[in-house]
Amino acid sequence: MEQYPVPQFIEEEARMAFFLTVKQFVYLVIAGAILFILYAILPFFLFIVAAIIVGGSAVLLGFFKINGIPLLTVLLNSIGFITGAKNYTWKKKESLYPFKTIRRPEIKKIEEDKTLKIGQKSGLKKLRTKVELKIK
C-alpha cells in the first residue's frame, strides 16, 4: 500500500476577497460601518480623528501579528493575565493508578575490623642482599 505524505502545520486561512482572509474582511467591513455611522453623527474634524483611530485599529487587528500570533489573541491573553489570579498553590495530584511500594530486603553492612592486619614480612631485603652479594 502506498503511503502519502501527510501535511503538517497547516495554518492557511481561506481567502475571501483579493488577498484578504475572512477575518480581515470582517474587521474592515465592521470598521467601515462604524465610520459610516460616525460620519453621519460627528462634525467633520471629529470624524477624521475617529476615522484614524477606528481605521487604524481595524488594520492592526486584521494584519498585525506578534510572533505569528494575531494581535487580537495577544490582547485577549494579556487582559486575561492581568485580570487573573497570580498566586499558584502547588497541590499534589493523585495518580490514576496508585503505585504499590515494594519491600526490599535490607542490605546488611559487613562490619570490618578496623585494626590493621600485618602480613608476613617481605623477603625483599633478604633477596636484595643475596643479589648484591651474589649468594645462592
- Answer whether residue 134 shows pLDDT above 70: yes
pLDDT in tens, 5-29: 887 777 777 787 778 888 899 999 9
pLDDT for position 92 = 75
Question: Quick count: other Cβ atoms within 10 Å of Cβ 58?
Answer: 20
CA–CA dist 42, 40 (Å, integer): 6
pLDDT for position 39 = 95
- The per-residue pLDDT of the chain, averaged, comes to 84
Percent of all residues in the chain with a pLDDT value above 90, rounded to a whole number: 41
Q: Which amino acid does the sequence have at 39?
A: Y
pLDDT in tens, 25-67: 999 999 999 999 999 999 999 999 999 999 999 999 999 999 9
Helix axes 44-63, 22-41, angle to 10 degrees: 170
CA–CA dist 55, 135 (Å, integer): 114
DSSP state of 106: P
| Boundaries of every domain in the chain | 20-83
Q: Report which of 52, 50, 58 is spatially closest to residue 26, judged by C-alpha positions.
A: 58
CA–CA dist 18, 25 (Å, integer): 10
pLDDT in tens, 60-104: 999 999 998 999 999 999 999 999 888 877 777 776 666 777 788
Query: What beta strand segments (E) does the chain contain?
Result: 15-17, 20-21, 65-66, 69-70
